[in-house]
Amino acid sequence: MKIIITGSSGFIGGHLTSFLSGAGYDVIEADITSGCDVTKWDDVAQLPAAEYVVHLAAITHVEKSYQMPRGMYTVNIQGTLNMLEYCRVQKASMIFNSSYVYGQPKYFPIDEEHPLESFNPYSQSKIIGEKLCQSYYRDFQVPAIIFRPFNIYGRNQTPNFLIPGIIEQIRNKQTITLQNPHPKRDYVYIDDLMQAYLMAIRSGRKSAYDIYNIGTGKSYSAKEIAEKIVALSKIKAEIRFSGASRKSEVLDTVADAKKIREQLGWSPGFSLEDGLKDLLNKNGLL
């Protein structure tokens, strides 16, 4: 089976390219670094036929979505539209990597029926991408599976995100300086996300439109995460917080992942402590 992975040089894309290749799939990389700009239809139209597209190419950092909104919307929306059109032409199935798109939670745990609420330009771009997938399924019968991962962490993630940022500061034997200690997130280890993609591909759901949360059902504050990493690494480091808050900050997220467990058989294999241990070990900090 041939599978196109867009954004294959990114954090999730790099892991997924290696993982699916190792599982015996014929992976085709559609990435700006390999000469394919998914915002340009001429580039996309030249891609070989494939059974699946896993669409990961996106500008994902929230701060960048405020700093360069036009560029972010162009990549995240035009790229999605082009890959859906590819799927229509080639009769391929789409797996679209969305995000947390629920805004301030109205109840816990948060299931897929929770109302959507954009709370920054990035989440808005993902909601629009989901609507495009829904439209292509409704109008052209393009099968689509939408993943809504909560907070993913793992190897090779940029230090702009909380966990790799803490690890980088520890590696440099610095005082850990963070912003707000209170926001809580549901963290999913990258290896568990890889299993979710594999199960989706193997499910054979090639004539459906489905949406799945990916999360553990437990949330941890930034303070708890920092304290766990320091304790596990056994490196003495002081933790300080500036108290600064991000614009439109969501204070807590807890995923209800019952649907993906029941329909695809996925459940997280790594607890937060197990994932942090594995990550610290791979960074030579255990």
Average pLDDT over residues 120-138: 97
Query: Phi and psi dihedrals of 200, rounded to 5?
Result: -65, -45
pLDDT tier, 206 (very low <50, low <70, confident <90, very high otherwise)? low
pLDDT digits (tens, 9 = 90+) for 7-37: 999 999 999 999 999 999 999 999 999 999 9
Average pLDDT over residues 227-248: 91
How many angstroms separate the CA atoms of 202 and 252, rounded?
Answer: 33
> Tokens 């991408």 — which residue?
129
CA angle (124, 130, 134) in 5-degree steps: 145
pLDDT digits (tens, 9 = 90+) for 87-107: 999 999 999 999 999 999 999
pLDDT tier, 158 (very low <50, low <70, confident <90, very high otherwise)? very high
> Which pLDDT belongs to residue 207?
74
Average pLDDT over residues 124-135: 98
Give the Cβ contact number of residue 231 at 10 Å.
Answer: 11
Helix (H, G, I), strand (E, B) or coil at 221: strand
Query: Phi and psi dihedrals of 84, rounded to 5?
Result: -70, -40
How many angstroms separate the CA atoms of 266 and 264, rounded?
Answer: 6
Architecture in CATH for domain 2-153+188-217+254-269: 3-Layer(aba) Sandwich (3.40)
How many angstroms separate the CA atoms of 101 and 98, rounded?
Answer: 8
Q: Which residue from 46, 5, 12 is spatially nearest to 195, judged by alpha carbons?
A: 12
Average pLDDT over residues 52-71: 95
pLDDT digits (tens, 9 = 90+) for 172-187: 887 999 999 999 999 9
Q: Which residue from 275, 278, 259 is spatially nearest to 267, judged by alpha carbons?
A: 259
Q: Which residue from 12, 19, 28, 15 is spatially nearest to 90, judged by alpha carbons?
A: 28
Please compute, for residue 221, the number of CA atoms within 13 A of its CA located in the half-sphere on the CB side.
Answer: 11
pLDDT tier, 245 (very low <50, low <70, confident <90, very high otherwise)? confident
> Which pLDDT belongs to residue 10?
97
- pTM of the prediction? 0.96
How many angstroms separate the CA atoms of 34 and 227, rounded?
Answer: 40
CA angle (60, 230, 196) in 5-degree steps: 40
Q: What is the mean pLDDT of the chain?
A: 96
